[in-house]
């Protein structure tokens, strides 16, 4: 257990920052995966971007379903480590890995069987884009298996207070992806020109290598599966109980996004491409905040297990202070420099103008979004996953009627972007207030 980090003692700011930096770095690596793919795919044209973006919605369902497992895994691992019950932590880890393999195998089978119907839901009315989307999804679906396992492996490492090991291993995957993307997309060095399929294969290969190495190190450092495969049905129920609200929220979030995308499709292929690229650019904040969310969840979880409740409150406000700096920075960049940023991906002046509108409007909500996402980590650390799920489902769901109403005004397509921004602002106000109220009750009653 030499790589276990004790988060229950010492400087809160130092411990939280030390844990969060590799996690944020890993989140930025994930963003870089997507960014690099999109930069190269963008060279194939806006149809390729639209195809990949359309297929990507359904692939996100896989990661949403995986939350059913990895959220509870991170919570119980960190709490067990905080209570110094290391065998219990390993039992949760082993059970979670087995559950992930079963669940994702079922999901991939469903994706492949219904791939034509799923893409057809968008009514793209463009056979070329539909074919590219189906082909891309058919290949990328296999990569979900290893990506999902990597998520679970990473949460186990983080629960032990070790965020450096997965960071360095994931960095290797990024390097592989950078090298393979142009080679397989454009057919360099004698390789066949595979287009969007090449991007999918490059990502899958990198994710597979990362997953295998993570498992090897996990087994070596924390001695999981040293006595065979342990599957505990009671721990499975516990993990699912913790993870089900978040999984439901993420599944619904993805579902809401699919409906929003269908509304956007009324403005044509250019609008779909704008959203796809805009989301990748905006991910600078929400992927980083997601990484910091994981750090706070591990910190709070260990201190909850050790019954050090004052450190939970102090850790939360330290985290909010740090992440707010990021929120302000991203808002500034997106609001004042939208066109140069968007032009990195596509050169068409009309699409760049649409993209600049997207970034400028979404830039208004970045601070609120990162605060909301970080607060989710606080709730996860104490095993209370229902409140953030309720807030997310209500306000994210409100995007659909808002998008329909606002887009019917003179705002047009921009009305859809404003529906996303308004809902993010509301979530960023309501959830932190709820958590602060909960912390006060928690401190008084030790619930």
Structural domains in the chain (count): 1
Tokens of 89: 């932590």
Which residues have CB under 8 Å from 438's CB, separation 6+? 379, 384, 387
Q: Which of 206, 140, 200 is nearest to 172 (CA)?
A: 206
Residue 22 belongs to a domain: yes
The predicted pLDDT at position 1 comes to 44
- The distance from CA 75 to its chain's CA centroid, rounded to whole angstroms, is 17
The predicted pLDDT at position 367 comes to 93
- The distance from CA 27 to its chain's CA centroid, rounded to whole angstroms, is 8
Tokens of 252: 């619904």
Residue 6 belongs to a domain: no
Per DSSP, 267 falls in state G
Residue 420 belongs to a domain: yes
Whole-angstrom distance, CA of residue 299 vs CA of residue 311 = 9
Task: Compute mean pLDDT per 10 residues along the chain, 447 residues long, and list them.
Answer: 61 77 74 71 76 76 83 84 82 90 91 85 78 85 88 88 86 86 86 84 89 92 75 88 85 83 84 82 78 82 80 89 89 91 82 90 93 92 87 92 94 94 96 90 62
Residue 65 belongs to a domain: yes
The predicted pLDDT at position 443 comes to 66
Which residues have CB under 8 Å from 82's CB, separation 6+? 7, 8, 301, 302, 303, 304, 305, 306
Instruction: Give the residues across from 226 on adjacent strands.
Output: 228
CB 217 within 8 A of CB 239: no
- The distance from CA 25 to its chain's CA centroid, rounded to whole angstroms, is 13
Residue 418 belongs to a domain: yes
Domain hosting residue 435, numbered range: 12-445
Whole-angstrom distance, CA of residue 332 vs CA of residue 353 = 18
Residue 388 belongs to a domain: yes
Q: Which of 215, 218, 162, 156 is nearest to 3 (CA)?
A: 162
Q: Which of 303, 241, 263 is nearest to 5 (CA)?
A: 303
CB 195 within 8 A of CB 185: yes
The predicted pLDDT at position 213 comes to 95
Neighbours of 34 (CB within 10 A): 17
How long is the chain?
447
Residue 5 belongs to a domain: no
Which residues have CB under 8 Å from 415's CB, separation 6+? 403, 405, 406, 407, 408, 409
CB 47 within 8 A of CB 133: no
Residue 1 belongs to a domain: no
Residue 226: φ, ψ to 5°:
-75, -20
CB 379 within 8 A of CB 385: yes
Report pTM.
0.72
CB-side neighbour CA atoms (13 Å) of 86: 13
Place of tokens 């498992």: 215
Whole-angstrom distance, CA of residue 392 vs CA of residue 251 = 11
Per DSSP, 8 falls in state S
Whole-angstrom distance, CA of residue 87 vs CA of residue 67 = 23
The predicted pLDDT at position 2 comes to 46
């Amino acid at each position: 257990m030499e790589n276990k980090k004790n988060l229950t003692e010492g400087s809160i700011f130092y411990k939280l920052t030390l844990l969060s930096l590799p996690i944020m770095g890993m989140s930025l690596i994930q963003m870089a995966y997507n960014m690099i793919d999109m930069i190269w795919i963008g060279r194939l044209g806006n149809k390729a971007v639209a195809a990949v973006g359309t297929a990507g919605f359904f692939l996100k369902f896989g990661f949403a379903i995986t939350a059913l497992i990895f959220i509870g895994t991170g919570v119980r691992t960190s709490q067990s480590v905080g209570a110094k019950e290391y065998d219990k932590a390993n039992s949760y880890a082993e059970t979670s890995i087995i559950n992930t393999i079963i669940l994702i195998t079922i999901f991939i089978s469903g994706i492949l069987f219904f791939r034509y119907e799923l893409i057809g839901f968008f009514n793209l009315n463009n056979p070329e884009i539909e074919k590219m989307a189906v082909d891309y999804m058919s290949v990328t679906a296999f990569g979900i298996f290893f990506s999902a396992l990597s998520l679970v492996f990473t949460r186990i490492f983080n629960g032990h207070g070790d965020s450096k090991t997965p960071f360095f291993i994931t960095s290797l995957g990024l390097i592989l992806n950078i090298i393979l993307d142009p080679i397989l997309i454009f057919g360099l060095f004698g390789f066949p020109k595979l287009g969007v399929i090449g991007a999918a294969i490059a990502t899958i290969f990198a994710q597979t290598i990362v997953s295998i190495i993570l498992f090897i190190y996990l087994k070596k450092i924390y001695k999981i599966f040293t006595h065979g495969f342990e599957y505990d049905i009671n721990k499975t129920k516990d993990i699912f109980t913790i993870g089900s609200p978040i999984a439901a929220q993420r599944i619904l979030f993805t579902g809401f996004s699919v409906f929003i995308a269908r509304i956007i499709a009324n403005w044509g292929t250019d609008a779909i491409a704008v959203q796809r690229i805009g989301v990748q650019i905006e991910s600078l904040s929400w992927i980083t905040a997601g990484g910091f969310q994981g750090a706070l969840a591990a910190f709070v979880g260990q201190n909850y297990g050790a019954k050090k409740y004052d450190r939970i409150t102090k850790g939360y406000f330290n985290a909010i202070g740090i992440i707010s700096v990021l929120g302000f920075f991203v808002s500034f960049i997106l609001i004042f420099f939208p066109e140069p940023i968007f032009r990195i991906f596509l050169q068409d002046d009309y699409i760049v103008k649409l993209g600049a509108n997207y970034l400028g409007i979404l830039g208004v909500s970045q601070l609120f979004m990162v605060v909301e996402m970080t607060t989710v980590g606080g709730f996860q650390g104490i095993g209370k996953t229902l409140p953030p799920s309720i807030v997310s489902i209500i306000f994210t769901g409100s995007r659909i009627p808002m998008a329909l109403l606002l887009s019917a005004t003179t705002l047009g397509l921009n009305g859809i972007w404003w529906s996303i921004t308004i809902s993010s602002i509301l979530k960023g106000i309501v959830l932190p207030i709820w958590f602060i109220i909960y912390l006060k009750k928690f401190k008084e009653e030790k619930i």
